[in-house]
Structure 1
Amino acid sequence: MLSRTASSLYWLGRYVERAGNNARGLQVALRMASLTGAGQRDTAWHALLVATGCEPGFRDKGAPLTQENVVRYLAADPENPSSIMSCIEAARRNGRAVRTALTVDMWEAVNETWSQARRSTEATFAPDNLPDFLDWMKQRTVLFNGAYADTMLRGEAWRFVRLGTMLERADNTARVLDTHHHALSDVEEGGALAYLHWQAILRSVSALRAYHHIYRARLDPRRIAEMLLLRHELPRSMVACYARIEETLDGLAAAHGGQRGECHRLAGEIHARLKFSRIEDIMGEGLHQFLTRKIDRSIDLGAEIGAFYLHS
């Protein structure tokens, strides 16, 4: 497979996943803003900007930190490469470049999402209409993920889409946890505001119901951190994502005559450290420090994947 084809497939997976993650994050921030006072509302919007990695770009625009400005920047701003609309555009552009490598269902999922998104207007992002748009975006992400999971041959094309999806997902989970690490670092029972933060973390990765199914108990910060970091059952946990990343890279290595690079070693190292970690040790050394290292390692891994497979 040509490196430019691999790159388009990889970034197709990343951009679709990023659009869904941003939609989920906006839904959670809207809920937090509706349940808290003015000061906490500002905190919720700033936390979302940090979690999406968009805080520097938003700050450079010089716009006040308001719900309207943050929503516009994360949902529709064409100057923000990580806005939902920009991600849809980039996903479609990458998909079109490798149209023959996609199944009919995959292409229709991407192209119809792009076509419908183009009909969006300013009213689409108004407070009364925004929840419907965010629900729609989540549904389109699930549709695309289902399409490639159910219709692609388990070959190189599938592996690169999956690799992009899983790396983006792992990075998002780490950033969500790190943004709210202060709410998880105190193991003592919190008040109503702490409970809202704990719910927000779980809702950001669609894991609130999963938490109750696994633990059958009230929300607890240690258990939340444990589930999102170390529980294999949760498909958005970091350990589950990195297990799939390592598996996918192993499959690519086998398809390329066993050739391996730094990305394979690094993926195995990250997965092993997560697989054999204990939540007591993580909380003891500091959740923020642990997550910061994982985010940095995720960035390094993305760069190594690019250097080994995606750049000609």
Structure 2
Amino acid sequence: MLSRTASELYWMARYLERAENIARLLDVTNKLSMMSISDHTQLNDDQNDLMVPLTLTGTQTLFSEHYSQLTMGNLLNFFALDNVNHSSIFSCMQMAWNNAHAVRGSLSSEVWESINASWIEMKSIRRQGVASLGADAFFDWVKERSHLFRGAMFGTLLRSDALNFIRLGTMLERADSTARLLDVTHQLLDADEDPVREYYRMDTLLRAVSAREAFHTLYKQQISRETISELLILRGELPRSLLACVEIMAEQLELIGGTSGNLPRRRVHTLHAELRFTTLDEIMAEGLTEWLTQFLDKTSAIAESIHQTYLEAQ
């Protein structure tokens, strides 16, 4: 496969996954902001919760340049519809469509139609505003469109390098998002001693990664920081866990093959082995934030090696 084609497919998948992850993050932030209002808690706690999307995406400065106040309404507009923000759902879908359009010949008609229809509807929503749907309905729409894409992808694409690069990009983006969301939630829990807010934050984190039902299936106990951390890091049964994402990345790189891919394969398999054989006690002894920071550094190095090995024109 040409490196340019591989790059378009890989980034198409990353942008689509990023759009879904941003929707999940906004959903969590919206729910936490409503809880703050109903509980009449301190303004500082409200601001900490509202800062989560900006912290995760590194867009604090950009946001402050275009919005005078940090409110849920402004955040929703900034992360849903603002094309100035390259991390917005609108921008992600636009870039995913551009990439998909460039490689239509490598996609099935069903996959292309799912992406094209999503982009057409996204432009319509942007003209009307998210209020025309309602925030919750908009988040559900984004997740639904992502699910339709994946269904079409699994159901119609050849088992070839095209599918492998799509899945590789998806899992790399998903692992990055899960790690960052877990880290920021952990830091918020450390900064707030209110047990009610602690429980609600943990519950909304599970909802953000569609893991609430999975948690109660695997753990017959109350939600705790330790069990959530183990679930999102070390439980391969959960599709959005770090172990599950890295395991699929390793599988896709093996399928892509080629002697030039030794570096990304070695890095992914090394990280996979670390996740398989580490324990939650070892992670907590090191410090969850410190461990997650190192994990993100390793996935960044993997992404760079993938780019240099497969996506740059040789």
TM-score of the pair, normalised by structure 2: 0.92
Kindly state the Cα deviation for residue 45 of structure 1 after the two structures are TM-superposed.
Answer: 1.3
Which whole-Å deviations, capped at 9, do the CAs of 1:29-64 have from their partners, x for residues lacking one? 111111113432221110122224433532454643
User: In 1, are the aligned partners of 2:16 and 2:96 still within 8 Å (CA)?
Assistant: yes
Match of 1:14 in 2: 14
User: In 2, are the aligned partners of 1:245 and 1:267 still within 8 Å (CA)?
Assistant: yes
Mean alpha-carbon deviation: is it higher for 269-278 or for 231-240? Answer: 269-278
Counterpart Cα distance in 2 of 1:75 and 1:247: 33
User: Unaligned stretches of 5+ in structure 2?
Assistant: none
Match of 1:115 in 2: 120
Match of 2:175 in 1: 170
User: In 2, are the aligned partners of 1:183 and 1:221 still within 8 Å (CA)?
Assistant: no
Tell me which amino acid in the other structure corresponds to 1:141. Answer: S
Match of 1:23 in 2: 23
Return the match for 1:221 from 222, 225, 231: 225
Which whole-Å deviations, capped at 9, do the CAs of 1:202-233 have from their partners, x for residues lacking one? 12211111111110221011000000000000
Tell me which amino acid in the other structure corresponds to 1:101. Answer: S
Kindly state the Cα deviation for residue 97 of structure 1 after the two structures are TM-superposed.
Answer: 0.4
Kindly state the Cα deviation for residue 153 of structure 1 after the two structures are TM-superposed.
Answer: 1.1
Which whole-Å deviations, capped at 9, do the CAs of 1:141-182 have from their partners, x for residues lacking one? 011011112211111000000000000000000000111123
Return the match for 1:250 from 242, 248, 254: 254
Counterpart Cα distance in 2 of 1:117 and 1:62: 22
User: In 2, are the aligned partners of 1:174 and 1:238 still within 8 Å (CA)?
Assistant: yes
SS of corresponding position for 2:125: coil
The root-mean-square deviation of aligned C-alpha atoms, in Å, is: 1.9
Mean alpha-carbon deviation: is it higher for 126-135 or for 65-74? Answer: 126-135
Tell me which amino acid in the other structure corresponds to 1:5. Answer: T
Q: Cα distance 1:110–1:231, how it changes in 2: closer, same or farther (>3 A)? A: same
Return the match for 1:58 from 36, 60, 63: 63
Match of 2:291 in 1: 290
Which whole-Å deviations, capped at 9, do the CAs of 1:68-107 have from their partners, x for residues lacking one? 2211111111011110000111111100000010011110
User: In 2, are the aligned partners of 1:185 and 1:286 still within 8 Å (CA)?
Assistant: no
Match of 1:234 in 2: 238
User: In 1, are the aligned partners of 2:24 and 2:139 still within 8 Å (CA)?
Assistant: yes
Which whole-Å deviations, capped at 9, do the CAs of 1:93-130 have from their partners, x for residues lacking one? 10000001001111011000001111124643239722
User: In 2, are the aligned partners of 1:124 and 1:130 still within 8 Å (CA)?
Assistant: no
Q: Cα distance 1:167–1:147, how it changes in 2: closer, same or farther (>3 A)? A: same
SS of corresponding position for 2:210: coil
Counterpart Cα distance in 1 of 2:66 and 2:268: 36
Kindly state the Cα deviation for residue 272 of structure 1 after the two structures are TM-superposed.
Answer: 1.2
Tell me which amino acid in the other structure corresponds to 1:288. Answer: T
User: In 2, are the aligned partners of 1:169 and 1:241 still within 8 Å (CA)?
Assistant: yes
Mean alpha-carbon deviation: is it higher for 167-176 or for 293-302? Answer: 293-302
Return the match for 1:198 from 192, 196, 202: 202
Match of 2:160 in 1: 155
Kindly state the Cα deviation for residue 7 of structure 1 after the two structures are TM-superposed.
Answer: 0.3
SS of corresponding position for 2:261: coil
Q: Cα distance 1:164–1:122, how it changes in 2: closer, same or farther (>3 A)? A: same
Percent of aligned positions that are identical: 38
Q: Cα distance 1:70–1:183, how it changes in 2: closer, same or farther (>3 A)? A: closer
| Counterparts of residues 21-170 of structure 1 (less than 5 Å) | 21-36=21-36, 37=41, 38-59=43-64, 61=66, 63-121=68-126, 123-126=128-131, 129-170=134-175
TM-score of the pair, normalised by structure 1: 0.93
Aligned pairs, how many? 307
